[in-house]
Amino acid sequence: MSEVVEAGHGTHDDHHDHGPDKGLARWLFTTNHKDIGTLYLWFSFTMFLIGGVLALVIRAELFQPGLQFVNPEFFNQMTTNHGLIMVFGAIMPAFVGLANWLVPMMVGAPDMALPRMNNLSFWILPFAFAMLISTLFMEAGGPNFGWTFYAPLSTTYAPETVTYFIFGVHLMGASSIMGSINIIATILNMRAPGMTLMKMPLFVWTWLITAYLLLAVMPVLAGAVTMMLFDIHFGTSFFNAAGGGDPVMFQHIFWFFGHPEVYIMILPAFGVVSQIIPTFSRKPLFGYDSMVYATASIAFLSFIVWAHHMFTVGMPLAGQLFFMYATMLIAVPTGVKVFNWVSTMWQGAMTFETPMLFAIAFVILFTIGGFSGLMLAITPADYQYHDTYFVVAHFHYVLVPGALFSIIAAVYYWLPKWCGRMYDESLGKLHFWLSFIGVNVTFFPQHFSGLAGMPRRIPDYALQFADFNMLSSIGAFVFGFSQLLFLYLVIKAIRSGKPATDRVWEGAHGLEWTLPSPAPYHSFTQPPKITDAEAHS
């Protein structure tokens, strides 16, 4: 503890007494974690709107059977880019943005550990997505092989623009890797004295584990797209059966990345919900330790279940059984988490402000998505469900009312801390109910059309699916347009919201709430004292 005495004499404090630069330079050259967090969040919201427009093109086309608005080739580009933009452009950067804003404040650090790399890891992203999205305006068209870009669709039969896609993915990967290194270094090296690992808020814990997942799998993705690049341009045959390669191997490599990737998108969501539910239940989180261990178990299991995405390509019985049981095992730590959230609410003095509404909806709807995942894990049943709308319903239930709801909840929850002003509570509730109804009307019928055999990734379908699809499309438009209300709400709060108190929420615990609202440009230049009351909320 002797170093504590020296606190405040650190050499890097010299230029920390002034505020942000003015104008565009502030954002281009910033190394401030709050600025970069803001950039990430606005970037991901922009991507969310773009990906949403693509989704609405899909739903407009599927409103009725037959081809109405777009041709099948363009439809394929829509599904592919919707998936890529939402996964890599909206959900992942939003969580990195939240980590940037919150992790230093939650562990009592003055900034991220590597501020310049932080700037770089954000500013790569606009270039990556400009490259990806620009292909949609090229003559050959954008990527059209699905977000999973299975070879040989993405190699032998890919549009010429696939190289832009490959370099775009390389850049996104580089950005994620740098972001993860930064987050790990911040969490492991920059915690205030007394903030032991097992006192960290759960959001910090889930991000620590997520960052390790990213470091483990993003390089594998980089390898996979590099192999594609070689197959396309340099005459290799990694995935080309004619030259001795194997397209099935692509699927193994992709899903070795892809399955941990889906947990990368949900673990930070678990963290967010674990912060919000205790606040509005006015009780500490139930089973903190078990939450940490459950998160770690889910992360470990995510590496040994990848082949459940490809039961139908053919594999030995022993393999099918292994991947089935391993997948079902994930329900155990996930169940621990769900029960802990419910137990936290149990007999709490609950109130239902907007962030809490989104958090409760997360618990219920994510659990539905989890159960449909369990159904898909049953190998023989998966032969029926594979590549149907049931799969679409499943992963949208875990990603939209799962990951996305948690991000929206986080924005409502911490926005008063970020900008010092409250959002409009009644408009927030309206946004919640529109989103909640919209999301369920969109995705619940897809379970039924999927079970009845409607395949995914098609622009036209048999007549018996017409009613369910019309319902889905109506829900999608309600959900999509209600997100503009969210945009309005956030801008209104920033411009003219009522001033927020420092604590903001009556039941809030954690270091970030000990700071003034809005949080000063430089916080915790002196390490805070960690009291039990401020340890993990």
Partner 1 sequence: MSAGTNNANAHSNANSKLVKKLIFMVLGMFAFGWALIPLYDLLCEITGLGGDTGGQYTYDPADTRVDRNRLVKVNFITNTNQGMSWDFWSDKGGMRVHPGELNEAVFYVKNTTDKRMVGQAVPSVVPLTATDYFHKTECFCFNSQVLEPGEEMEMPMRFIVDSDLPPNVQSISLSYALFDITELSGGQAQLEAVGHESAGGD
The catalytic position among 154, 175, 473, 482 is 175
Distance CA 104, CA 322 (A): 41
449 is catalytic: no
CA angle 532, 419, 284 (to 5 degrees): 25
Helices (H), 346-404: 354-377, 379-385, 389-398
- Is there a catalytic annotation at residue 176? yes
CB of residue 512 vs partner 1: minimum separation in angstroms?
18
Instruction: Give catalytic status of residue 495 as yes or no.
Output: no
Q: Does the annotation mark 261 as catalytic?
A: yes
Distance separating alpha carbons of residues 82 and 147, to the nearest angstrom: 8
Tell me how far, at minimum, the Cβ of 524 lies from partner 1, in Å.
Answer: 9
328, burial (CB in 10 Å: exposed 0-12, middle 13-18, buried 19+): middle
Element (H, E) at 163: helix 162-189
Nearer to partner 1 (CB atom), residue 158 or residue 195: 195
Examine the residue annotation and report whether 274 is marked as an active-site residue of this protein.
yes
Cα 435 from Cα 312, distance rounded (Å): 35
Active-site choice (259, 394, 396, 431): 259
Cβ-in-10-Å burial (0-12, 13-18, 19+) of 216 comes to middle
- The active-site residue, picked from 61, 261, 353, 534, is 261
Q: Is 334 a catalytic residue?
A: yes
Answer for the pair 501, 517: CB distance below 8 angstroms, yes or no.
yes
**Catalytic member of 252, 429, 456, 492:** 456
- Residues 54/78, Cβ–Cβ less than 8 Å: yes
Residue 12 Cβ, how far from partner 1 at the closest point, in Å?
Answer: 4
Q: Which of 331, 153, 358 has its CA nearest to residue 276?
A: 358
By beta-carbon proximity to partner 1, the closer residue of 150 and 448 is 150
Say which of 33, 34, 59, 82 is annotated catalytic.
Answer: 82
178 alpha-carbon distance from chain centroid: 17
Which structure tokens are listed for 500?
A: 């927020």
Buried b (16+ CB within 10 A) or exposed e, 67-85: eeebeeebbbbbbbbbbbb
Active-site residue flag, 73: no
Query: How far apart are the C-alpha atoms of 362 and 274, rounded to whole Å?
Result: 11
Q: How far is the CB of 311 from partner 1 (least distance, A)?
A: 14
Nearest by Cα to 93 from 404, 521, 363: 404
CB of 482 to partner 1, least distance (A): 40
For the beta carbon of residue 126, count every other beta carbon within 10 angstroms. 15
Alpha-carbon distance 465 to 444, whole Å?
Answer: 14
Quote the least distance from Cβ 104 to partner 1, whole Å.
Answer: 12
Nearer to partner 1, 140 or 188 (CB): 188
Please state, in angstroms and rounded to a whole number, the distance separating the CA atoms of residues 261 and 315: 23
Question: What is the residue whose two structure tokens read 């505020």?
Answer: 19
Catalytic residue flag (residue 147): yes
Please identify, using beta-carbon distances, which residue of 223 and 284 lies nearer to partner 1.
Answer: 223
337 noted as active-site residue: yes
Nearer to partner 1 (CB atom), residue 365 or residue 530: 530
To partner 1, the closest distance from the beta carbon of 527 in angstroms equals: 5
Nearest distance in Å: CB 141, partner 1 = 20
At its nearest, how many Å lie between partner 1 and the CB of residue 469? 31
When the beta carbons of 249 and 434 are compared against partner 1, the nearer one is: 249
Q: Which residues bind partner 1 (CB under 8 A)?
A: 3-4, 6-8, 10-12, 110, 113-114, 177, 180-181, 184-185, 188-195, 215-224, 227, 235, 237-238, 240-246, 248-249, 252-253, 256, 314-316, 319, 526-527
CA distance 309 to 412: 35
For residues 3 and 289, which CB has a smaller minimum distance to partner 1 in the complex?
3
Cis amide bond preceding 333, omega within 30? no
How many CB atoms sit inside 10 A of residue 150's CB? 16
Length of the chain: 537
Residue from 35, 61, 111, 231 carrying the catalytic annotation: 111
Residue 111 appears among annotated catalytic residues: yes
Q: Which is nearer to partner 1, 498 or 529 (CB)?
A: 529
Name the residue nearer to partner 1 (CB basis): 245 or 459.
245
With beta carbons less than 8 A apart as the criterion, state whether 229 and 158 touch.
no
Q: Which residues are catalytic?
A: 82, 111, 147, 175-176, 259, 261, 263, 274, 308-309, 334, 337, 456
